[in-house]
Structures are given as C-alpha cells and as structure tokens.
C-alpha cells in the first residue's frame, strides 16, 4: 500500500491529487485479499478515462494495471484486467487472430474496456468476449458469460452492479497477418486524423454518442471547439475531446464539460452523458457539477 500517493502522472489527463491509500495487486488472489480489507475501494485500470480530482481522494483506490497475465490457446486468449488493449491487439496479430484490431490505439486496459464495452471502427468487446471473471462483493470471484454481462452501447452489467472485471476470455477468428495488419493500419490512420495523440493529455471522448447521433457533431454545431477553461481547452480538430495544456485542474475540466453540456442542451434539448468517470469529492463545486452531469 502507498499512502498519500500522487496519482497525477498515472492518469491520461495528467491531472489528479493525492490518493489516501493506493494498491497495485499483481494477481486475482491479491486483489480479493485487498478488497476484503478495503470493501469500499474505488477500482481503476489504466486511468485512461478517469478524471481524478486535483484535491485528491480520501479513500482507497485499487489499480489493476499489474494484473497483466496473457495466455493463448488456439483461437482463445485469456488476459488479465491490466493488459493494455494495444498490446493484446499486437499479440493477436502475431498469433494470426482477428477480432481485436479495433484496440490497436486504445489507451485503456482490458478491465476498463470490458467494463464499458469499448469499441471502434464497427468492432466492440461484446463481439469477441466469451466470458469474464469479475469480483462480486457477495459471492467473491465469479465467471460471467457474454450474455450475463448484458452488453449494450458503451455499457455492461458491471456499470449497474458493483462488479470489478479481473480477467477476460476472448474468442477470436483465425486469419492471415496481412489482412489483420491492413485493418489495424486503417484504424491507426483514422485515429491519427480524428483523435488527439496520446502525447496531448486527454481522456478520450468526453461524452457518449446519443442514440442515432454523434456527440462530436452536436458539440461542433454548438460552437464549443477551442473553448478554454483555465489550463484546458476543447480540441480544435474534434469538439468531443478536452486537452490539458499542462497546468489544467480537475475543476477546469468539469467547468468546461458543464459549458459543453449546457451549449448542446440549449441548442438541441439533448442531455449528453459523460464517458469520463470522476474520482474525488473534496471540492464542493466539482461535486455540484458532477451531480448535474450525472457523474455521481
């Protein structure tokens, strides 16, 4: 356990204060042991879509990034929650297996990607996931099938119940390297043109796409591109990304999200749902904005 752990450099946003108690388990067994001592701990993966308050967090955080086991058996692969999506995608390529090409430039890890049913370029986790091991407070570690995970757009049962994803089993399709690589190259090219490089601190898409529409289109038409709040701004090339220019705070981000949300609601009467998750609670204004945006 790390006490008063400075989390800023671990987050994709490069924003965040001190965590009172921080844990990095290296196995499912170690995770279960820690969770028994810290039942209310916040579970984090690669911290790629989490906005951590600059005022810190008074509780415990369990980061699963070191649960990173990987094994292949024919066209099946088992990966720990902490395995980076990009790494798994490349290993699938090496094993002539198709189905994970969409992960090639994902900043997140397997646990978070299953949790939110991540997807891109017409592919998503639900298409290739056979089962997942999750921690359930009442039953301990249980195995859920694809159907039991209740996947839908950018969500799973793990967002509705207190489940933590610890391991995932994927069933992939044998293919040839050239075809897989071609698809990966297309995905990489798309992301390079449409999304900010990971060297620009950001949390990926800020808001989810509403049914049958695009959050980026709505935000663009609402005129938010280039909008600034303290040390953060809406990216000039795509209105659904917030960039931290180096000294941004969590309050800067939330104030900007509030402006973006309000502009779209005012113009289209659509309430955008944040894709970014929040960890904090020490700052009253942050809590107020998070409640308005239904992030708490």
Instruction: Write out the catalytic residue numbers.
Output: 154, 205, 275
Tokens representing 264 are 């779209």
Q: Which of 201, 195, 159 is nearest to 16 (CA)?
A: 201
In sequence order, the 6+-apart residues with CB closer than 8 A to the CB of 212 are: none
Contact 137, 109 (CB under 8 A): no
CA 13, 14, 18, 19 dihedral sign is positive
How many CA atoms does the CB half-sphere of 79 hold within 13 Å?
28
In sequence order, the 6+-apart residues with CB closer than 8 A to the CB of 99 are: 92, 123, 127, 128, 170, 171, 172, 173
Contact 103, 91 (CB under 8 A): no
Contact 164, 134 (CB under 8 A): yes
The DSSP code sequence of 104-128 is: TT--SBHHHHHHTT-EETTEEHHHH
**Cβ neighbours, 10 Å, residue 245:** 13
């Amino acid at each position: 356990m790390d006490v008063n752990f400075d989390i800023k450099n671990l987050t994709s946003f490069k924003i965040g204060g001190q965590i009172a108690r921080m844990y990095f388990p290296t196995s499912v067994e170690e995770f279960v042991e820690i969770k028994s001592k810290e039942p209310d701990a916040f579970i984090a993966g690669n911290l790629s879509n989490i906005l951590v308050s600059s005022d810190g967090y008074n509780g415990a955080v369990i980061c699963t990034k070191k649960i990173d086991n990987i094994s292949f058996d024919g066209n099946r692969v088992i990966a720990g929650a902490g395995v980076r999506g990009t790494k798994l995608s490349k290993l699938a390529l090496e094993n002539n297996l198709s189905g994970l090409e969409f992960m090639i430039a994902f900043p997140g890890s397997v646990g978070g990607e299953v949790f939110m049913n991540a997807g891109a370029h017409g592919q998503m986790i639900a298409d290739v996931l056979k089962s997942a091991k999750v921690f359930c407070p009442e039953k301990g570690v249980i195995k859920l099938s694809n159907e039991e995970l209740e996947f839908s757009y950018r969500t799973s049962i793990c967002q509705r119940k207190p489940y933590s994803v610890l391991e995932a089993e994927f069933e992939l399709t044998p293919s040839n390297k050239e075809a897989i690589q071609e698809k990966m190259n297309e995905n990489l090219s798309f992301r390079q043109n449409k999304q900010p490089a990971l060297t620009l601190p950001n949390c990926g898409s800020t808001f989810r796409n509403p049914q049958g529409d695009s959050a980026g289109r709505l935000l663009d038409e609402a005129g938010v591109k280039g909008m600034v709040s303290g040390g953060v701004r809406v990216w000039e090339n795509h209105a659904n990304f917030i960039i931290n220019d180096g000294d941004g705070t969590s309050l800067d981000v939330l104030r900007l999200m509030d402006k973006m949300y309000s502009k779209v609601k005012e113009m289209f009467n659509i309430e955008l749902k944040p894709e970014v998750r929040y960890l904090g609670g020490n700052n009253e204004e942050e809590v107020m904005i998070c409640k308005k945006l239904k992030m708490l």
